[in-house]
Structure 1
Amino acid sequence: MVDAVVSYVVRRLGDYLIQEAAFLRGVRREVESLKKDLEWMLCFIKDAEDKQFDNGLIRQWVTDIQEIAYDCEDVLDKFMLQFHEEGTARRRQGLFASIKKYYSWIVARTASHKEPNLYSIGKEIEALNKRLKEVFDRSRMYGLKAMDNKLEGDSKALGKLKQLRKTTSFALEKHVVGFEDDTSTLLAKLLEDDSRRFVISIWGTGGLGKTTLVRKLYHSSQVKSKFQRCAWVSVSRDYNIEDLLRRIIKSFNFTDMIDKLSEEELKRFLHNSLQGYSYLVVIDDVWETIAWESLRIAFPENNNGSRVIITTRNKFVAEFSDERTYVHKLRFLREDESWELFCEKTSGKANEDEGLWKLGKEMVQKCGGLPLAIVVLGGLLSTKRSQEWRFVRGHIWRDLSSGSTEIENLLALSFNDLPYQLKLCFLYLGHYPEDHEIQTWQLIRQWVAEGFIPQNEEIMEDVAYRYLNELINRSLIQTDKTRAGRVVTCRVHDLLRDLAMQMAKQLNLFHIYDEIKGSTLSSSKSSCRRQVIYSGAGAYSQILQRHNPLLRSLIIFNLRQRDILTMCTRFKLLRAINLSSVLFELIIPEEVGKLIHLKYLVLRYSEVKYVPESILNLVSLQTLDIISGSCPQMPTEICKLQELRHLSGNFSGQYLRVDNLTNLQTLKYIESETLSRTNLEKLVNLRELGIVYHDEEKVFNFNSIAQLKNLRSLLVHLLDNPFDSLQPLSHCQDLMYLSLCGRIEKLPGKMHTVLPNLEYLRLEFSYLVVIRCLY
């Protein structure tokens, strides 16, 4: 887990070395050395955490490295801030020529023992390098095992879980609640009259009941009578191909002389032993495609209806299994099925009186249809007196985790299997409230602003969306709403959210203030880098009392405090501010221009009337979202914000200079005058455009928009003007979403030939929606 933090800091150090080369000229060698040392540490941290995390010395070792990594980021961020505060209001580009002279001035100020200055960064980085060396020396002093070798033995948690999977795979539930439709579908696939061998892949969240469902199929009389040979093997995360082959062979009762055979010999033995037989093999809990790829050659194509069943949490593994694969996504239990399972596990206790029935219903609903959670909850409550149910209801997730190591370990395995690039992205989801509908556009832009997404030749938002889909495919996020083929909103199951919160607490990732439930939902350290507020009149004073100078993000879901943004300017290292739930007029203070690290500023629905000129000092700003019912007055020279990627607001009635914003991906909602005076060919990355057209004398045409080759979403809002032909939009081959409000004489006869990728079309006439169609 700490590998996620260290890799994140290593990437930021690399970005600094590239982007701030002139500033770091005097200490470049020290920064490069620090980066290299952290890269070496990163090679060993993952193995150390997995293999020896029960060792207190190892835990302390990785914690020390985590703290040093955080301190590296702090030193560089404070260095850049101090440079701007000490030296100038000029742009960075104008300083490069005088950098040597400036450093001489800094050295002179150091000699006079005045306030801290830029020259001290060399000393601070030197101290960080020294601390890293001390951590390494201390590990050798206390006899920690060499991290570059395979460490002996599994951790206790993984070992117990591995044994648990082996001993329970063949256990048969007497009565499986729910999944009748899934059982019928899958049984038909197993028994259908198709002589070809094919794979049935079942995927879904850990604890959803994949193994239980397959166990039911495996033991059915119809399956037993169809297949001459049946075998079951659990793969799990830590597997060995030779061990898997031996276990499969022993399941078929072929045990002669196999213990000394090599992997290739075992494959040949199994292949020959199955020739001429119809067989069913269950390969349970597959984590990566190479596991099945390594086994596939051992199963002959007998043309007698043989089948292989694979269960996995990963959609990609399920789809990749074989050229002939039936992929089945296992659903969550319905409300009635969840209640039936709960009642069974509590022996009907929930129906004894109305009070228990209500408490039971509420707790079962919190389980979100996850069978493992319901089973653990039922088992927990079945041993408790009626008066204790209310207490469990108040601490349901804590009690579920403490009541079953299986549920905690099963979910933690999904997290541990993530590449380090995805770990912080997943943990970040823990700051959202329970059952919150997460806007994916917002999540992706926050990931980018937080520095979780690497900067390379690919557009970062595309990388972030790919990360989102991978978390969905790994069953860690649930898709909620889609539009034009893309995920628009998503959710996190409460158990997985709780997992994210617990792990984020260990990394000191964010602090959640909720006056209703208490403020200890996550890290309570004063140095926590992200402050999240759910509710409470005391939240404002809470932030001031903590006064954390290292705060990087402030996210508010419900707070009524007009001068909250003025308070934000006290935290000079802020990278992200989201006040989209502050539902009244906000004033953007001039001081906001001092937040030079700020990349993400969202004040949606906050009725901003005026944006000060000082905002043009935010040279790192990527997202500015001030969409509301008002029309905020913007500085005309918005083009100075060269890093701007998403600009959203109601900019009706004003002209904005956006010509040279080549990174811009979102621009809405702009006046038609801005469109007419902008060389759109320069906006090579623009994907989403919203236009407001007020010229009642003219027909609106799409000729200029046709220059936007990468446009995906277009919204045009007219008063009562007619639209011209849509034909020019044929040059926008990637256009998927089109919304038009105004009078249009007629649509092209073959819409799909003009816009072949269009998936969502919305037409409004006189502000009334008359047609809404999906292609």
Structure 2
Amino acid sequence: MVDALVSFVIERLGEYVIREVEFFRGVKGEVESMKNELEWMHCFINDAQKKQVNDDTIRRWVLDIMDIAYDCEDVLDEFIFKVHNEGIPDTLSVDQATTSERRQRFLTFLEKICCIICSKTRQQIDLYGIGKQIERLKGRLNDVSRRRQSYNLQDINNNIEGESSARGRLNSLRRISSFQLEEMNVVGYDDDTRTLLAHLLDKKKPQSFVISIFGSGGSGKTTLAGKLYHHAEIKNNFSHRAWVSVSQHYDTKDLLQRIIYSFNKDRDLPKMSKVDMTNEESMGRYLKKSLEGRSYLVVIDDIWHKEAWDSLKRAFPAENNGSRVIMTTRIRDVAERVDDSTFPYALRFLRPDESWQLFCTKAFKNSHVDQGLEQLGREMVQKCGGLPLAIIVLGGLLASKTRKEWSEIRKHIWNDMVNQNIEITYLLALSFDDLPSELKVCFLYLGLFPEDHEIKIRKLIRLWVAEGLVLQKGENTMEELAENYLDRLINRSLVQIGLTSRGRIFTCRVHDLLRDLAIRKAKELNFFCTKHETQNLVESTTSRRQAFYPGRNTPLLLQHCSLLSRSLFFFGQSSFLDLPKVCIGFRVVRVLYLDNCYFENSNNLPEEIEKLIHLKYLGLRNTSILHLPSSIGKLQSLQTLDLSTTREHGGRIQIPSEIRMLTELRHLIGCFDTKLKIDNLTKLQTLKNVHGWVWTQIKTEKLVNLRELRIYWNYPTKNGEVTLDSIANLKSLRILSITLFDGSSYFGSLEPLSHCEHLQDLNLEGIILNLPENLHELVPNLECLSLDGSNLKDDPMPKLEKLLNLTHLQLGFDSYRGRKMTCSANGFPRLEILNLCPGPLLNKWDVEQGAMHVLRDLKIVVHPEKGLSKWVRSINTLKLSARVHLERDTICRL
């Protein structure tokens, strides 16, 4: 893995040096020369990538180069900081006592570059001096080349196939496969599901009790719990459901917060205005009182200690109303002794037929099984011992391999058998080693997140871009490249799909065993450091990425972190975090992740934030920050500003006018109902969520790169009409969402949408709408459409079925008020998912033969007062393989 990281650092360094130095101008030729030398170094690293790094000599060689690259990056960051904050220095100060001779020579070279960069304050540029330093660097690289021959690296390319042939051209992947979308084709567990469902729904046992599912890591405990949690009978029998993951390192206060938020996703519980979400007792009382007299189901996933349940148990009322708790654990003792009323359930391994079926879904993507590969595949699957995770990873590894490569992998597996059973850690490492360099680094990055953490896809992509893990190539944006990286990791089964929304992946997660692999590899490279409360506080680290998990020792842990850290992740920290001190101390940081943190003494982002001139990602989601200082305008490198808040955290963040100075800003996320000066932010790609009247004040002509826009209205417009005229300027728009709360307005026309030729996802909620006859011509590329609350009078199906690319359609609450719907033959040719919440007048739905022929999921939320009408029973005319959900919902919303 050393090779992959060195390759990444060198490539990124070349891009960084060019970008920053050209900003100062005057030394273009010299910098181009340096870039050429760095590219030669990169070639040497690529040679090292083709050689096994088990050789300690080679490992030392690439580590030395990595240190040089890191030192160069450090000095450049420090210099630019001084230019911005301390004026232009005459020379750079270097600590002779603590700097190695190798590093000193490199710093001397960079010193000369810095002197030239500062030449605007001097009378002339000493180009000859710079040339001498570049020659010195070339000499060092010649030394590296000679050492390369000593290590016998020159003939490597003749023996090992390079990565380029396997990569190919980047596909424009916008959708995910049917198998991935909602983990629909869960293999096995049918008998387990029936057994546990019977216990969960047993009316003869109304008292609350716990079902604990236990088994080894990767055996499918969470998958089975998820299958139960989302089962239609469970949804219909438990009015309140919540899911929380515990893991080894847990904090009771954090668990209670997440349980409450899980219950409140659909506004299930009473208002939380008087709940102190930082106080464990207050949250426990609120939760217990809210659940009294209600039937609930709670899934507590991945519990390691009985004490974790003991700390939560008092927050759940013990009543005779059939409420249940499902737990998953790897530890038999915890499963059997967690509670007096526990029903422990040992999860078996998959049978041979189930193992083969699961393998085929990954290795052959549910297509025809290659008979020539079947025997090889069955032999390897047998060695997985029925362990689902091992089978899934093996299938993902083999999915893109040739027959020869299948044979090679089988031979390796045979050589690494332990007691006639596969060593799972070896198989995971094999899949990791098979990744191309760019995917290796992105996979390592996932280890930063806490165990069992649901990682939001868009957030992860923005972090990868901010970290420089994705470099611009071709016409694709860095976000598109990052999305492709993630899709490839998912296809290899190294990343699991979490939640989905509107036909797209919303969250992902990493299995514990794979996360352990990422952490172990990252530790070898000093790529990042994770800190728990129980760790040795005096243990210093020079890692450039630090992750702090919930605990009380964060301030002390910070004292032992490198001040050259590029990324600081604070997961759910409390008011003990001294944010001004962080801004002053960690001045070269690029990512500051503060989501779900509380700052008791102030609701203001400190003025010291201006010190972080290299900052690219600032995450303040669900924090107590309500005010941004004007100094935010000095963050000239900022790409992502995430200010999303919830009602429990107070009002909306006030944005200063200096935001117009953030010309590199790509993603602005929050809740904006005051004037927003972003007219000149030409690189902006995401804007969420802006009030309608604020949006009307923005000149949209320069927002040429805007791809996602979410607008909301809290009240009707003065003339009762919402127009889309300003949308016509957004030529790059892919996702548009307009929501109206507490009022009624209507669209004048959908014609402006015709200018957004790339529009794929449209959500119109709470707005009276008339669908035009030429809708399919206005938005020909539309893939997702939601029309909740549109109060359509005419049958929408004849117009909607002409949208040839539509795959996901939602006609939710108050979307259609008519009596009949008709879907004609061959209509909706690509529709996969259809969600309906029909109005009370609907009594007939005709579906002609051939309509919606690829539909795989039909969800109908039945009106609570109307019940099942005869039109619902008529859906058997749909000769489809689709799943059909019939659900009741107290508020009849999808």
Aligning the two structures, in what range does the TM-score lie when normalised by the shorter sequence?
0.5 to 0.7
> Gapped runs of 5+ residues in structure 1?
89-98, 111-118, 155-174, 189-196, 218-235, 238-282, 296-309, 314-370, 381-403
Shift of 1:559: 0.9
**Cα deviation 1:503-549 (Å, max 9, x = unaligned):** 111221111111146679xxx66321011011211012211x12522
Choose from 418, 427, 431 the match for 2:435: 418
Equivalence for 1:527:
542
Distance 1:564 1:455, change over 3 A: farther
Distance 1:683 1:42 in 2: 37
**Cα deviation 1:277-323 (Å, max 9, x = unaligned):** xxxxxx9975755x35x99xxxxxxxxxxxxxx7999xxxxxxxxxx
* Secondary structure of 1:51 counterpart: coil
Equivalence for 2:607:
590
Distance 1:734 1:105, change over 3 A: closer
Equivalence for 1:553:
567
Matched, 1:567 2:576: no
Shift of 1:644: 0.6
Distance 1:146 1:136 in 2: 10
Distance 1:600 1:67, change over 3 A: same
Equivalent pair of 1:13/1:35 in contact (CA under 8 Å): no
Distance 1:147 1:581, change over 3 A: farther
Equivalence for 2:12:
12
Distance 1:311 1:183, change over 3 A: farther
Equivalent pair of 1:512/1:533 in contact (CA under 8 Å): yes
Equivalence for 2:370:
199
Letter in 1 for 2:151: L
Letter in 2 for 1:700: V
> Gapped runs of 5+ residues in structure 2?
89-114, 162-347, 362-367, 387-392, 792-811, 816-834, 837-856, 859-894
Comparing both chains, which one has the higher relative contact order based on Cα–Cα distances under 8 Å and sequence gaps of 6 or more? 1
Letter in 1 for 2:696: S
User: What pairs up with 1:56-75 in 2 under 5 angstroms?
Assistant: 56-75=56-75
Equivalence for 2:768:
744
Equivalence for 1:493:
511
Equivalent pair of 1:667/1:689 in contact (CA under 8 Å): yes
Give RMSD over aligned pairs: 4.6
Shift of 1:758: 3.8
Equivalence for 1:636:
657
Distance 1:10 1:35, change over 3 A: farther
Letter in 1 for 2:457: T
Equivalent pair of 1:618/1:641 in contact (CA under 8 Å): yes
User: What pairs up with 1:109-258 in 2 under 5 angstroms?
Assistant: 143-149=150-156, 177-178=350-351, 180-181=353-354, 183=356, 199=370, 211-212=380-381
Equivalent pair of 1:481/1:490 in contact (CA under 8 Å): yes
Distance 2:671 2:408 in 1: 46
Distance 1:535 1:548 in 2: 20
Shift of 1:606: 0.8
TM-score by length of 2: 0.55
Shift of 1:660: 1.8
Matched, 1:710 2:732: yes
**Cα deviation 1:455-497 (Å, max 9, x = unaligned):** 2432111111011111111222112223344321111122211
Distance 1:312 1:646 in 2: 45
Shift of 1:4: 2.8
Worse overlay, 562-571 or 684-693: 562-571
Equivalence for 1:722:
745
Letter in 2 for 1:178: R
**Cα deviation 1:194-224 (Å, max 9, x = unaligned):** xxx9736999xxx99882259999xxxxxxx
Letter in 2 for 1:574: V
**Cα deviation 1:357-400 (Å, max 9, x = unaligned):** xxxxxxxxxxxxxx99xx98xx79xxxxxxxxxxxxxxxxxxxx
Shift of 1:56: 1.9
Equivalent pair of 1:509/1:528 in contact (CA under 8 Å): yes
Letter in 2 for 1:689: L
Shift of 1:765: 7.9
Equivalence for 1:465:
483
Equivalent pair of 1:664/1:685 in contact (CA under 8 Å): yes
Distance 1:413 1:581 in 2: 36
Letter in 1 for 2:434: D
Equivalent pair of 1:637/1:656 in contact (CA under 8 Å): no
Shift of 1:565: 2.5
Letter in 2 for 1:723: Y
* Secondary structure of 1:704 counterpart: helix
Worse overlay, 416-425 or 691-700: 691-700
Letter in 2 for 1:573: V
Letter in 2 for 1:636: S
Equivalence for 1:761:
786
Equivalent pair of 1:10/1:35 in contact (CA under 8 Å): no
TM-score by length of 1: 0.62
**Cα deviation 1:56-90 (Å, max 9, x = unaligned):** 212211111111121121122222212212338xx
Distance 2:565 2:537 in 1: 17
Letter in 1 for 2:686: T
* Secondary structure of 2:549 counterpart: strand
Equivalence for 1:54:
54
Shift of 1:17: 4.7
Shift of 1:729: 5.4
Structure that is richer in helix per residue:
1
* Secondary structure of 2:15 counterpart: helix
Distance 2:142 2:561 in 1: 32
Equivalent pair of 1:285/1:311 in contact (CA under 8 Å): no
* Secondary structure of 2:380 counterpart: helix
Shift of 1:31: 4.7
**Cα deviation 1:232-282 (Å, max 9, x = unaligned):** xxxx99xxxxxxxxxxxxxxxxxxxxxxxxxxxxxxxxxxxxxxxxxxxxx
Distance 1:80 1:728, change over 3 A: same
Distance 1:573 1:432, change over 3 A: same
Equivalent pair of 2:614/2:635 in contact (CA under 8 Å): yes
Equivalence for 1:168:
none
The size of the alignment, in residue pairs, is 556
Distance 1:696 1:31, change over 3 A: closer
User: What pairs up with 1:367-766 in 2 under 5 angstroms?
Assistant: 406-456=423-473, 457-516=475-534, 526-543=541-558, 545-561=559-575, 563-569=577-583, 570-583=585-598, 586-628=603-645, 629=647, 630-652=651-673, 654-693=674-713, 694=715, 696-698=717-719, 699-718=721-740, 719-725=742-748, 727-728=750-751, 730-731=753-754, 732-744=756-768, 746-747=770-771, 755-756=779-780, 757-761=782-786, 763-764=788-789
* Secondary structure of 1:668 counterpart: strand
Distance 1:750 1:312, change over 3 A: farther
Equivalence for 1:226:
none
Distance 1:187 1:568, change over 3 A: closer
Equivalence for 1:266:
none
Letter in 1 for 2:704: V
Equivalent pair of 1:440/1:487 in contact (CA under 8 Å): yes
Shift of 1:578: 0.9
Letter in 2 for 1:458: N
Distance 2:699 2:641 in 1: 22
* Secondary structure of 2:711 counterpart: strand
Distance 1:607 1:754, change over 3 A: farther
Distance 1:418 1:482, change over 3 A: same
Distance 1:686 1:58 in 2: 46
User: What pairs up with 1:328-347 in 2 under 5 angstroms?
Assistant: none
Equivalent pair of 1:5/1:424 in contact (CA under 8 Å): yes
Distance 1:210 1:483 in 2: 38
Equivalent pair of 2:763/2:786 in contact (CA under 8 Å): yes
**Cα deviation 1:578-613 (Å, max 9, x = unaligned):** 101214664211111121110100101113221111
User: What pairs up with 1:260-339 in 2 under 5 angstroms?
Assistant: 286=398, 288=400, 291=402
